Amino acid sequence: MLRLDCLRSIYSELERCLVITIMGAVAAELQSLGHRPNFFYLQHAMGLASSTGLGLALCLPDQKVIVFDGDGSLLMNLGGLSTMARYRPKNLVHVVFDNESLLSVGGFPTATGTGTDLDGIARAAGVPSVSTVRSVESFTKVVKDAIHGNELTTIIAKVEAKERGPCLRKVGNWDPWSLRRWC
Ligand SMILES: Cc1ncc(C[n+]2csc(CCOP(=O)(O)OP(=O)(O)O)c2C)c(N)n1
Ligand SMILES: [Mg+2]
């Protein structure tokens, strides 16, 4: 499945969430669907989108927070999972787009392509709800359930290592490629 199709399938649900993304392709793809003032594209600080989301979720307990993470980013900050699990805010949804690649910087393979199991690591860290999805239908269901639910959730979405470049259209004054350059 393609990440852009996943993002499109839950885009309408994001209106009521604070949304944090990693840098690069994820940010550009989300922005290409239409920027909203509640979207924050964390630049440069690889691995720290989940920590940023954790801080926001703890400070704003009545606000649903959703983080769009990447496999390479999460692998740089595995300790973030145990901190998330320790505080387990009920209003945090952590989505990891696992394309087994550092796609935004040229597609170098990551350890999830050679056996590292992020689902297992999240469970062992103590995240109370963890799932892995491989179809857009399953993705839509688990993300909607998590947004409407009341439990810290990590969702590993196995996606193709493909960026939907041609789909990145300018939305108003916003240019997704300006975000794509800030890796
Ligand atoms: C500390 C640090 N190292 C390296 C980079 C360069 N960098 C930007 S995006 C990226 C790859 C991110 O991989 P992943 O989280 O899997 O997302 P994907 O690009 O696959 O969507 C890298 C290495 C950075 N921004 N910060
Ligand atoms: Mg990746």
pLDDT at 178: 74
Q: Which residue, by CA, sits nearest to atom 6 of ligand 1?
A: 183
* Overall pTM surpassing 0.85 (yes/no): yes
Task: Give the pLDDT band of residue 6 (cuts 50, 70, 90).
Answer: very high
Model pLDDT for residues 47-105, shown as the tens digit of each residue: 999 999 999 999 999 999 999 999 999 999 999 999 999 999 999 999 999 999 999 99
Residue 23 CA: which ligand is closest? 1
Rounded to an integer, what distance in angstroms lies between the CA atom of residue 123 and that of residue 178? 36
pLDDT at 7: 97
Return phi, psi of residue 62, to 5°: -95, 5
Measure 68 CA to ligand 2 centroid, in angstroms.
11
Measure 70 CA to ligand 2 centroid, in angstroms.
5
Residue 42 has pLDDT above 80, yes or no: yes
| Residue of 6, 116, 164, 183 to test ligand 1 pocket, by largest number of atoms within 8 Å of CB | 183
Model pLDDT for residues 132-179, shown as the tens digit of each residue: 999 999 999 999 999 999 999 999 999 999 877 545 556 666 677 777
Return phi, psi of residue 149, to 5°: -85, -165
Measure 159 CA to ligand 2 centroid, in angstroms.
9
Domains and CATH numbers, the chain: 3-180 (3.40.50.970)
**Which protein residues touch ligand 1 with a CB less than 6 Å away?**
22-26, 44, 46, 70-73, 99, 101-105, 183
| Residue of 73, 96, 108 to test ligand 1 pocket, by largest number of atoms within 8 Å of CB | 73
Q: Are 111 and 76 in contact (CB under 8 A)?
A: no
Ligand 1 atom with least separation from CA of 75: 15
Q: Are 100 and 73 in contact (CB under 8 A)?
A: no
pLDDT at 180: 74
* Helical segments of the chain, H only: 3-10, 25-33, 49-59, 71-76, 79-87, 118-125, 136-148, 176-180
